[in-house]
Amino acid sequence: MVAYGDGMTGTRTAFRTCPLCEAGCGLEITLRREEAAGSGPAGAREVVQRIRGDLDDVYSKGFICPKGSTLKHLHEDPDRLRRPVVKRGGEFVEVSWAEAFAAVDAGLRGVVDRHGRDAVALYLGNPSAHSIGAMLYTSGLAKALGTTNVYSASTVDQRPKEVSAGLMFGGFTVPVPDIDRTDFLLMLGANPYASNGSLATAPDWPGRLEAIIARGGEVVVVDPRRTRTAEGATQWLAIRPGTDAFLLAAIVSVLVDEGLAAPGRLVDHVAGYDEAVAAVAAFTPESVAAVTGIDAATIRDLARRLAAAPTAAVYGRMGTTTQAFGSLTSWLIDVVNVVTGNLDRPGGAMFTKAAAGQANTRGTPGVGRGLRINRRQSRVKGLPETLGELPVAALAGEIETPGEGQIRAMLTVAGNPVLSNPVGHRLDRALDTLEFMVSVDIYVNETTRHADVILPVPSALQKPHYDLALLQLALRNVTNWSEPILPLDVGPDGVVQPDEWEVLAKLALIAAGAGPDADVATFDDLVFDNLAKHAAPEVVAAVAAAGRTGPARIVDLMLRTGPYDLTLDDLLANPHGIDLGALEPRLPEVLRTPSGKIELAPPEILGDVSRMHGALAAATEAGERAGDRPFLLIGRRDLRSNNSWMHNVNVLVKGKPRCTVQVHPDDAAALGLVDGAPAVVASRVGEVTVPVELFEGIRPGVVSLPHGWGHGVPGTQMRVAAEHAGVNSNVLTDDEAVDPLTGTSVLNGIPVSLTPA
């Protein structure tokens, strides 16, 4: 960081990690000090002048996507809430922080007194995973609420992968593709050219994929749609939506039948190998060709090339987890990596060793309690608990259905489930019936408009940042801490806006019955002490001597107890990050299963294989496009969009409308659909009217609609988003269609019909 030359005016440069997606790109931010009466020392304030990629960042090396440069726009957005608001007479009114917390205390206490703690639900949105304050303090908030009704965006996104990996490896241990060293990458349901990667943290995925091909390797993309990623691949396989598990099972079948299986050293670290391969032996390429839409010869050739590659990795993302066989697909990805001997080897699928917070770097190596799921079920639908949370597919019914345990109050943190979750229109109506709702959010959006109190948190430039979760999935071992760039806002009453962790700590104290005037330091100490109880006394003393509070103190502790003997001071001295090296083999110490081995045949997983057999038989009998809703709907991502929470930034949403339904020209001609004209897309549970976009790069019989749109409803206060409203694709999502092992909603492969509007 460069200081101002005169202490008053001029510019300075600061560095931080972008928090807007999973890539973790380094940013170089130039700030200008300008005169502004009553703002800062000598009446001056700082404003962001420019944001560009940090050329010296140890990981991103200057790469930046269009979203990263918009942190200035987000910070200065006039629609962003800077003070808490309380609903009075149906309208939001700005109040002091003391008034807002008092209103929360009265509202929550009233619901709990009348109906009990399970009458309150907690929902955690996607941005929570990108915030160090939310990552560290929401679990304590959930415990303080004392409710079994905890939901998160993960239960409508990545939960099948978390569960399958947890059952196989124990805890939060997810293999990532070592794309910088691989010769062959098989990628299913992933579009990192648009998403920047997911559950595999790395800047510049496009450049890394192109490097594979440049060095003579292969990139094979399996997707019903020719995405930008597929365009750059060496091969694109237009699979039928929701059938990835059948393709992977057939690959395993070929590898075993043709003597190509070569687990190598993994044999000593695997339990259940024979059971796993036997479970899918019947899914031959010939038997799955019709259901997948990929001919048997192509499947056999793919399996042979995968086996012949010097190194290879199989990687799947949201397209594989948000389908009817999400958990089985996630499991089979790692089965293929094991059968080919590509797990835990350079160029294959490897395990990150994070600098802070990773459970598999602590405790007894190779031994743990594994993962327990389905310890309880949702009250109405009976959907399973996973990782302490219930599926969002159950949420609307839990609010609507009377009886013991009915949800009467909601607390949402950085989430917009009305747009991002199944049957969004039904959830929208349900939220309106709540007795009390409080939201931690920076916008009055489609969900928070129902709140009685909204508590805004500082902008990304005003908060510290550390990618606690994402660095546990990095494709290289790196670490970086970001200090706040700008000061916290000061209200007209002279009160400084609390940091995000302080807002969450106050809510936890209120939930625990300590009242709205309780000191957040007491909760901060509780969180720290809980993490410090297993640390050496001299380590705890060293952290205490630094005099920090909040996330900085906790991250310092995690670094000191991590595998690299680092401190927060080390990270502060290296604003461009610290490169800890390429991924290295970690078996068996990375495992946390009771057996100390990879559980390749978890009973919970094998118990679901029979459903694949049933689906294959039914599909074979019915034919690929039988029924009165012959089309299958899939989602899609856009580089300038991030779920629903970047649509109020004009530079990202301007231009050609992106909320369109993509249809193959042959299908459009048969249905009388015209490019740019509206069409009605209908599912079992709802319908939307949306412009048609003819697109040859989509499998016939498949249509695509992006999620996260549907803005501009009454009561929201996001003017730019309202001008580019689009439609809510989750009006079409059927909350009865879920992956049974995790309760994750089926967002890809939804049966729909199309008609001209």
Structure confidence at residue 699 (pLDDT): 97
Number of domains in the chain: 3
Check whether 38 has a pLDDT greater than 60: no
Distances (CA, A) of 615 to 245, 330, 693: 11, 18, 31
Q: How far is CA 332 from CA 218, 264, 370, in A?
A: 21, 18, 19
CA dist., res. 379 & res. 405, Å (int): 7
Question: What DSSP assignment string belongs to 310-322?
Answer: SS-EEEE-HHHHS
- Whether residue 625 is predicted with pLDDT greater than 60 in this model: the reply is no
Residue 9: predicted pLDDT? 57
Give me Rg for the CA atoms of the chain: 25
Lowest mean pLDDT among 31-35, 345-349, 381-385, 600-604: 31-35
Q: Tell me the backbone φ, ψ of residue 466, rounded to 5 degrees.
A: -150, 125
As a whole number of angstroms, the distance between CA 399 and CA 395 comes to: 6
Residue 2, pLDDT > 60, answer: no
In a domain, 8, yes or no: no
More confident residue, 592 or 1: 592
pLDDT at 40: 47
Average pLDDT for 241-270: 97
Last residue of a domain, one of 420, 435, 455: 455
User: For residue 92, is pLDDT > 80?
Assistant: yes
197 plus 285 within the same structural domain: yes
pLDDT for 623 equals 57
Q: What is the mean pLDDT of the chain?
A: 94
pLDDT reading at 662 higher than 70? yes
- Within 10 angstroms of residue 216's Cβ, the number of other Cβ atoms is 7
Answer whether residue 366 shows pLDDT above 90.
no
Note the pLDDT tens digit of each residue in 704-748. 999 999 999 999 999 999 999 999 999 999 999 999 999 999 999
Please indicate, yes or no, if residue 22 is contained in any of the structural domains: no
Q: Are residues 148 and 197 in the same domain?
A: no
* 314 and 247 in a common domain: yes
Task: Give me the pLDDT at residue 6, please.
Answer: 44
Q: Is pLDDT at 39 greater than 50 in this prediction? A: no
Token pair, residue 667, equals: 């299908």
pLDDT at 626: 41
What is the arithmetic mean of pLDDT over 528-547?
95
- What kind and span of H or E run contains 553? helix 550-560
- Binned at pLDDT 50, 70 and 90, residue 178 comes out as very high
pTM reported for the whole predicted model: 0.95
Judge if 248 and 105 occupy the same domain. Answer: no
Domain assignment of residue 198, yes or no: yes
Q: Do 317 and 195 fall within a single domain?
A: yes
Percent of the chain topping pLDDT 90: 90
Find the domain containing 333 and state its range: 178-345+591-606
Same domain, 147 and 196: no
Q: How confident is the model at residue 36 (pLDDT cuts 50, 70, 90)?
A: low
Q: What is the CATH number of the domain that holds 629?
A: 2.40.40.20
Would you say residue 242 has pLDDT above 60? yes
Query: What is the mean predicted confidence (pLDDT) over 64-75?
Result: 93
CATH number at residue 383: 3.40.50.740
The answer to whether residues 319 and 182 belong to one domain is yes
386 pLDDT more than 50? yes
pLDDT of amino acid 629: 54
Residues 154 and 281 both lie in one domain: no
What pLDDT, on the 0 to 100 scale, is given for residue 3? 44
Average pLDDT over residues 479-496: 95
Confidence check: pLDDT of 442 > 50: yes
- Please check whether residues 110 and 217 belong to one and the same domain: no
